[in-house]
Amino acid sequence: MSTMPTLPRHLDHAEFVNRARARLTLLYGQRDEEVLERLLALVAHQGSALLARRPDSPRPLWSERDQWLITYGDGLLDGDRPPLEALANFLDNRLPGTFSGVHILPFFPWSSDDGFAVIDYREVEPSLGDWSHIRQLAERGDLAFDLVLNHVSRESLWFVDYLSNSPPGRDFFIEMDPATDLSAVVRPRNSPLLVPVATRRGTRHLWATFSDDQIDLDFANPDVLLEFIDILLFYLQQGARIIRLDAIAYLWKQIGTSCVHLPQTHEVVRLMRTVVDYLAPGTLLLTETNVPHLENISYFGLEHLSGPDDAPDEAHLVYQFPLPPLLLHTLTSGEAGTLATWLASLPELPPGCSYLNFTASHDGIGVRPLEGRLPTHEIEALTELMHRFGGFVSMRANPGGEDTPYEINITWFDAMKGTRRGADPWQVERFLCSQNLMMALQGIPALYLHSLTASLSDHEGVERSGRLRSLNRRRWQREELDELLDSRNTPTREVFMALKRRLAVRRNEPCFHPDAPQRVITSPPELLVLERGPLPNGRRLLAIHNVTDRRQPLALPELDARCWYDLLERATVKRIDSLAPYRSLWLVSEDQ
């Protein structure tokens, strides 16, 4: 028995029109009816096939069986086989039934940033495969597509239009006088904000939040918004169930503000939510905002709920960005109190909202979520330790002009190499403890391919690309990976098989339903103890983790005289006096 399922919202046409009008009024004022008319025409043209596919009995938004893999489309290379086909083959042969969904990082033609400088949003990068490969993957489970809507590549046709002063692209970008005071703008990078561009009209300076090859788009122009609604609908037609809104926090620009999390940005997310709730209910919107926690969860739109019967109308899911750096601090310091305090402070979410939990992704380990949670000297100690383990630190520019750490670049397996005392023999155990803890948390777990394969930091990749993030973006040769997985004594095999077993356990345990209650149980700082449940049938689970390299005594009132069953070891536990270094327990009472 699981917790009560959360069903998707189904909007009828009249409700859709009213909600869309409200969003467009806040975005475009007196132009709202004009833009609404164009939106309705777009929906009628593009959405008819989606409406025809709307199920009469919608499936729940998520369950305990939801767990995702994150990978690049060419994360695995297998001779002349298209990489997307190689990925499908790997999932079928090595991970059948393990993952409910796959987030394939941008698989479109691109010019830089490993896919996040998109040239053409409606094409598959030919070196990866084609749309038939994407649709075949969608038949195996849920697919997450990136909607890279903040910026576009300089090699896109829109930018070519801009250079030649031709529609539509000539009006898609943000020109700015370089003398404008932009000191209040919050940046995720330390590169120049304005990029000089030679055009037929002379040199112009364009807004570029992330790099000089990723030129920001102007959503104050409704043509841009409608173009991306059209792209969104196209992705849904190709099999996407999850839409990841990349770098969404920086979408709307307004001089004199921070240009991050502006009200208009939230309205764009709400409009997209309105569209998918009408045309494809059950589609999940996931916002990517690597910022402090309260800013991050603002994309649920909870502050707009006026009563207990109100339903959230913004993102379904947000990344649990504070988790990776806090977990890194916990396992390198041997102190779980900071992490426990944060977990205990998390608000109870309404139905239809949940977290995507992860420890590693294609990006680095964000440092900003530590702001206000760890003192500066602790953050400095953490970044210095990661340097010692072979990592790097990317910087960002602050409004005052000072650069500060933005993210740590390292593979998660290398980050687990030791503690503040240095490297030690506990790397695999420490790594698995981190994954056990992440998978036990309320929400949906997502594992990056390079966590699954215990990948080491790719320093040669950094030398080739000149980008620090390449440390964690290795492309595996299938033959090499198979050899490591089939060998008896490799960390790759040990980690891969252990995680596969844990994921099989997790997806069959109803206490891990994303909506099942979560409670942090008071314990010594060397332990992190969680309760999941109780469920309506009374079932509950205790997840206990030793975050140190020393055996720790267990004296928890929750561990009464009853017999417990450890899901991880698949064994009855009658007496638990202590816990080995980095050992985890997933305990359910035998009378349940």
pLDDT at residue number 591: 59
63-86 pLDDT tens trace: 999 999 999 999 999 999 999 999
According to DSSP, residue 464 is labeled H
Q: Which of 246, 277, 414, 458 is catalytic?
A: 246
Closest alpha carbon to 507 in 46, 35, 117, 64: 64
Q: Provide the token pair at 584.
A: 């985890």
CA distance 357 to 502: 15
User: Is the Cβ–Cβ distance between 246 and 146 less than 8 Å?
Assistant: yes
Helix or strand (DSSP H, E) at 340: helix 337-345
From-to residues of CATH 2.60.40.1180 in the chain = 518-589
pLDDT at residue number 592: 56
Residue 425 burial (CB count, 10 A): 10
Answer yes or no: is pLDDT of 1 > 50.
no
CA distance 514 to 520: 16
Answer yes or no: is pLDDT of 2 > 50.
no
Q: Provide the token pair at 54.
A: 């709307």
User: Is the Cβ–Cβ distance between 243 and 283 less than 8 Å?
Assistant: yes
User: Is the Cβ–Cβ distance between 264 and 26 less than 8 Å?
Assistant: yes
Q: What is the DSSP string of 493-543?
A: HHHHHHHHHHHHHHTT-GGG-TTS-EEEEP--TTEEEEEE---TTS--EEE
Q: What is the dihedral of CA 352, 230, 168, 120, to 10 degrees?
A: 90
According to DSSP, residue 147 is labeled E
pLDDT at residue number 307: 66
Q: Terminus-to-terminus CA distance in the chain, angstroms?
A: 11
Q: What is the DSSP string of 304-322?
A: G--STT----S-SEEE-TT
**What number of residues does the chain have?**
592
Helix axes 427-440, 491-506, angle to 10 degrees: 20
Q: Provide the token pair at 457.
A: 């930091």
* Distance set, CA 265 to CA 145, 315, 325 (Å): 20, 12, 26
Give the mean model confidence (pLDDT) for residues 420-433. Answer: 97
- 184-198, 216-230, 432-446, 504-518: lowest mean pLDDT where? 184-198
Specify the higher pLDDT residue, 592 or 429: 429
Q: Provide the token pair at 517.
A: 């209650």
For the domain bounded by 518-589, which CATH number is listed?
Answer: 2.60.40.1180
What value does the CA radius of gyration of the chain take, rounded to a whole number of Å? Answer: 24
Closest alpha carbon to 241 in 62, 462, 500: 62
All residues at 6 or more sequence positions from 535 whose CB lies less than 8 Å from its CB, including other chains: 1, 2, 3, 510, 511, 513, 516
User: Is the Cβ–Cβ distance between 284 and 243 less than 8 Å?
Assistant: yes
From-to residues of CATH 3.20.20.80 in the chain = 68-153+218-512
Give SS3 for 290: coil
Residue type at 498?
A
Helix or strand (DSSP H, E) at 135: helix 131-140
Return the bridge partners of 319, or none.
356
pLDDT at residue number 3: 57
Q: Is residue 246 among the annotated active site residues? A: yes
Give the mean model confidence (pLDDT) for residues 121-139. Answer: 97
φ and ψ at residue 543, rounded to 5 degrees: -110, 115
Burial class of residue 413 in the structure, from the number of CB atoms within 10 Å of its CB (0-12 exposed, 13-18 middle, 19+ buried): buried
pLDDT at residue number 303: 83
566-576 pLDDT tens trace: 999 999 987 88
20-68 pLDDT tens trace: 999 999 999 999 999 999 999 999 999 988 988 888 778 899 999 999 9
Q: Provide the token pair at 467.
A: 């980008």
Pairing of strands 354-357, 214-216: unpaired
pLDDT at residue number 369: 87
Q: Please, where are the H alpha helices in 180-250?
A: 222-237
pLDDT at residue number 590: 63
Residue type at 330?
T
318-372 pLDDT tens trace: 999 999 999 999 999 999 999 999 999 999 999 999 999 999 999 999 998 898 8
- 9-23, 400-414, 510-524: lowest mean pLDDT where? 400-414
For the domain bounded by 68-153+218-512, which CATH number is listed?
Answer: 3.20.20.80
User: Any idea what the Cα angle at residue 441 is, between residues 517 and 243, rounded to 5°?
Assistant: 100
Return the HEC string of 469-502.
Answer: HHHHCCCEEHHHHHHHHHCCCCHHHHHHHHHHHH
The mean pLDDT value of the chain amounts to 94
> E-assigned strands of 125-216?
142-147, 151-153, 194-199, 202-207, 214-216
Q: Provide the token pair at 357.
A: 């939990």
433-485 pLDDT tens trace: 999 999 999 999 999 999 999 999 999 999 998 889 999 999 999 999 999 99
Specify the higher pLDDT residue, 560 or 377: 377
Give SS3 for 19: helix
257-267 pLDDT tens trace: 999 999 999 99
Q: Provide the token pair at 413.
A: 């397996």
User: Cis before residue 168, ω within 30 degrees of 0?
Assistant: yes
CA distance 268 to 259: 14
Binding residues for substrate, by number, are 113, 151, 244-246, 362-363, 469
pLDDT at residue number 472: 95
Give the mean model confidence (pLDDT) for residues 538-547. Answer: 96
Answer yes or no: is pLDDT of 509 > 70.
yes
180-203 pLDDT tens trace: 999 999 988 888 999 999 999 999
CA distance 300 to 249: 13
All residues at 6 or more sequence positions from 362 whose CB lies less than 8 Å from its CB, including other chains: 70, 72, 105, 114, 448, 469, 472, 473
Give SS3 for 221: coil
